[in-house]
Amino acid sequence: MLHNVGRLNDIAVVLIRYGFGDLVRRIGMAGALERAGRALHWQAPDELARLQPPARVRRALEELGPSFVKLGQILATRVDLFEPAWIAEFSKLQDASPTVPFSALRAQLVEDLGDEPENVFDELATEPLASGSLAQVYTARLRDGTPVVLKVRRPGIVPVVEADLRLLAWLADLVESRLPELHRYRLREVVRQFRRSLTRELDFAAECRNAERIAKNFAGHPDIIVPKVHWQWTNERLNVQQRMTGIAGRNLAALDEAGLDRKLLARRGATAVLKMMLEDGFFHADPHPGNVFYLPGNRISMIDFGMVGRLSEERRFQVAMLMKGLAGQDSTTATQVLLEWAGSAAEADAAQLQARLDEYIDQFHGIPLGELDFAALLTEAMAILREQQLPLPPDLALLIKAFVTLEGLGRSLDPDFEMAAAASPFLARIAAEHYAPAALARRGRHNLLRLANVLGALPRDLEHFLRVARRGKLKVDVNVSALDRFGEQLDRAASRLTVGIVVAALIIGSSIVVARQGDFLPGWPPLGLLAFVGAVVGGLWLLGSILRSGRRRRERSDAGN
């Protein structure tokens, strides 16, 4: 990590500036700053000191640069790990970066187009329409007059991203090893999720494949428009797509001026996203207003398919069962689904989790499914998961975040919008299809094939097991981590006891020698003096060992708090 020392110092300085100096010290980064002669007694300005921790963390991520902004956007999807106040702050992070001059992009653009841009496009703006951390977007017009946008990857961004990913992985390991109280945030897992997401976002061709897959799923829905991809000029570093010229999702006032129907738009948008989630199992994971355009005829266009979620048929059924369990006051079903999602990480007592869910969903008794506030329902369910320290798989965390974002988008268009009413038909259809004869037969065949494979491999596996056992190479490993620490403590105690016995023997021996031998020094026989010095040295070592042990215990106690 020597080549990252400068970057680590920058990170430590920003964290200290925003009031996280104690964190810097506890993970050991303060030492590097002290050796570099950097001050560690800085205090945050009054304006920053008045901010709540979520806002300070968001400001720090913004100052640390694009990779950390992207990380914050991933954290915004982890509703199972962070409370709503944190999610709200992370959601404010905007992917914006200083503009790179077009001249710096031109050589790469010529290479990707296979020709000079002037020979491909009738018009091409040299000022970007948008500038993000990974790419810049330009408007252009093809020779046939078709308006398009060019998403051009920043030159040299891949090595920078890879270096940041290595640094973040190292920091996650450091924090989790030295700050046990932060284990519940599962930083290693979050960084792994971030690596997968960012790697996919760097491949613009993959983003276009996502768009075409969703466009195919909406082939029979003329009200939902996905921009067309121009593949002859699209590759890993360049994305050329049809330009949407409707009303931006954030410009709600323009909807009324254009005479568009807000209620209809809310209903169509919700139906489209719910179809992606619960019917297709492949969905736009970030359906916020910036990724939506409203077109004439109350049509809707979605853009930016870099972040998508995937749900298997079984996952979709589990989502339906969770929602029906929460809405139908069936805490047993809801508990089973949540524990199944948590998998081996489920450390909570099932009875305790069910009791908390019973207490929570009882307040919805008698409320029809179509009138429930699904966003509030899911938000509180996530709060119970955090309380019980039960994580969600990343695909489900994306789903919940997208679901809550969708409800907010629908209510911004129509204050009377009810997500539950829009979702109810999908949930009922999923449950019905799961138990349909054809679905039962398909799962039955699949399970029979799996069983046949296991039985077919059983003779070979048993033969291998017996062969290893006959050779005496069969091993059973029992790893109890607490025994290692206990062994160390026992070894230290035995060493101290041995030294204590030797010191006591030396004291007694020196006393006997003093009483029976002649003088070497006035009143001190030689052997008696030697034994006494040995006793003093052994006693000082024993005292030092006890003091060092006490200091280590205090440090571990402080780290645990």
* Structural contact between residues 273 and 304, judged by C-beta atoms closer than 8 angstroms: no
Please state, in angstroms and rounded to a whole number, the distance separating the CA atoms of residues 404 and 228. 28
The CA angle 205-206-209, to the nearest 5 degrees, is 90
Q: What is the DSSP string of 12-74?
A: HHHHHHTT-HHHHHHTT-HHHHHHTT--S-----HHHHTS-HHHHHHHHHHHH-HHHHHHHHH
Q: Which of 173, 234, 210 is nearest to 285 (CA)?
A: 210
285 and 309 Cβ atoms separated by less than 8 Å: yes
* Residue 292 contacts residue 300 (beta carbons within 8 Å): yes
Q: Which of 370, 388, 382 is nearest to 425 (CA)?
A: 370
Q: Which residue from 506, 514, 511 is spatially nearest to 533, judged by alpha carbons?
A: 506
Tokens 């570099």, located at residue: 36
DSSP 8-class letter at 2:
G
Inter-CA distances, 44 with 16, 37, 49, 64, Å: 8, 19, 6, 16
Q: 27, 179 in Cβ contact below 8 A? A: yes
Active-site residue list: 286
